[in-house]
Amino acid sequence: MGRFATGVSVVTTFDGDRPQGITVNAFSSVSLEPALVMVALDRRRFITPMVRAAGRYAVNVLGADQQALSDCFAHAPVSPGREVFCGASWQPGPTGLPLIDGAIATLECTIVETFSAGDHDLFIGRVDSLQHGRQDTAPLLYYRRRYLRVQQGADSPVEGKPEG
């Protein structure tokens, strides 16, 4: 899976009234109609029971300049630490979930199904609200256990049929 390049997100939820987050790259689209996505969380992580109990989560897609947040929410030994939401500034989104300022896209989801698979829980979320963040910022990428950045702006059209 390390050869499969992905973006990087921080999945957030509330523990009571405290925002909590975890760095996640196991984030995928599942269905277009209705709009469903999936995040896979290791069952041993402190946040996994919180997500299950809240029944809701937000996905904050990180920009290339948010690597420090990715590290902090993956429990790097930094200050301010994860117990204070990595010092990230955030706002409640339209459905009230914590959205990190500067994310390039955010989704707020209600959990509609949960599957247990191996050592992870798969949370299928119905997308209740979707916001595009900064348009001018490239995504933070993850490849072979390292961060990757888009250096060249070159892209090319898809000849096959794109989803949707």
Task: Please report, as ranges, the residues that interact with ligand FAD according to CB under 6 A.
Answer: 8, 20, 22-26, 40-42, 45-46, 70, 74-75, 82-83, 142
Closest approach of ligand FAD to the CB of residue 119, in Å: 9
Closest approach of ligand FAD to the CB of residue 2, in Å: 11
Minimal CB distance residue for ligand FAD: 26
CB 134 within 8 A of CB 63: yes
Neighbouring C-beta atoms of residue 72, cutoff 10 Å: 24
- The span from the CA of 73 to the CA of 123, in Å, is 19
The nearer residue to ligand FAD, 44 or 161, going by C-beta atoms, is 44
What would the two tokens of residue 31 be?
Answer: 């269905």
Closest approach of ligand FAD to the CB of residue 145, in Å: 8
**Closest CA relative to residue 37, chosen from 141, 93, 108:** 108
Closest approach of ligand FAD to the CB of residue 6, in Å: 8
- For residue 77, the Cα-to-chain-centroid distance in whole angstroms is 21
The nearer residue to ligand FAD, 23 or 60, going by C-beta atoms, is 23
